[in-house]
Structure 1
Amino acid sequence: MSEQIIDRFFAAIEAGSIGTVREIYAPDAVIWHNDDLIEQGVEDNIKILAALHRAVSGLRYEIVRRAALPDGVLQQHVLHCRLPDGRDYALYCAMYLRVQDGHITRIDEYLDSAQRVALRKAREALA
């Protein structure tokens, strides 16, 4: 069951269906990134995802490895997209996604912060 929710979650992000992403999150879900150590709430994360879709094109996830766990999924993936300057971009990540009662309750995302700079610059250029 958790894997179906996770599949739906990543498909919604790829499609830019922010409303579906919001529905999949538990209202009090927490999203944490290793590069800033800040726990982000749902609405803050939704804003980031919406800005990402405005800044890049062709966003898709390549699942490298996934392990189903009793309380969620551990996943390694590559986020692919095209930057505004036309360059192809790939961000290598690992995530632990906790699922409870059909909703994502927590995400712990691990990535190389130096690698994420290009995405951050693309989002900030729109602000």
Structure 2
Amino acid sequence: MTIEQVADRFFAAIEAGDIDTLRALYAPGAVIWHNEDRTEQTIDENLRVLRWLSRTVGDLAYRDVRRILHDDGFVQQHLLTGTLPDGAPLEVPAGLFVTVADDHIVRIDEYVDSAHIQPLLTI
């Protein structure tokens, strides 16, 4: 599998709420770091958040995707969109630095503007 295929499968699985595919894409011991709280998540912690996100936000989609592939993974800028339970739109601009080895995600460093995720924190 190419790095681009890993990336495509990863984001499609998030949109579909496919936790099994997401788990299979992570390397054992993968780490997910977020700038807004400066903490690292384990795979299980990250999958709990992604499961909640897919069940809570309707029409979850990645828009305006710009991706740069390199030998060790990829960098992606995108706009995560969806509909909140109260019907309000959600738009979260983000950037991810993703390290890939042997067809699996080893590390993600995610950068989001904390103001844009505030609506998610009040649900």
**Structure 2 length as normaliser, TM-score?**
0.96
Aligned partner of 1:115 in structure 2 is: 116
- Cα deviations by residue, 1:81-110 (Å, 9 ceiling, x for unpaired): 000000111100000011000100000001
1:39-78 equivalent positions in 2, closer than 5 A? 39-78=40-79
CA distance in 1, matches of 2:23, 2:121: 22
8 A Cα contact 2:69 2:75, kept in partner: yes
Number of residue pairs aligned between Structure 1 and Structure 2: 122
Aligned partner of 1:16 in structure 2 is: 17
1:53, CA displacement in angstroms?
1.5
Structure 2: segments with no counterpart, 5+ residues: none
Deviation larger for 111-120 or 27-36: 111-120
Letter in 2 for 1:83: L
Structure 1: segments with no counterpart, 5+ residues: 123-127
The share of aligned pairs that are identical, in percent, is: 49
**Structure 1 length as normaliser, TM-score?**
0.93
CA distance in 2, matches of 1:28, 1:64: 27
8 A Cα contact 1:63 1:75, kept in partner: no
- Cα deviations by residue, 1:15-63 (Å, 9 ceiling, x for unpaired): 0101100100112100000011101110000000011122111001114
Aligned partner of 1:36 in structure 2 is: 37
CA RMSD of aligned residues (A): 0.9
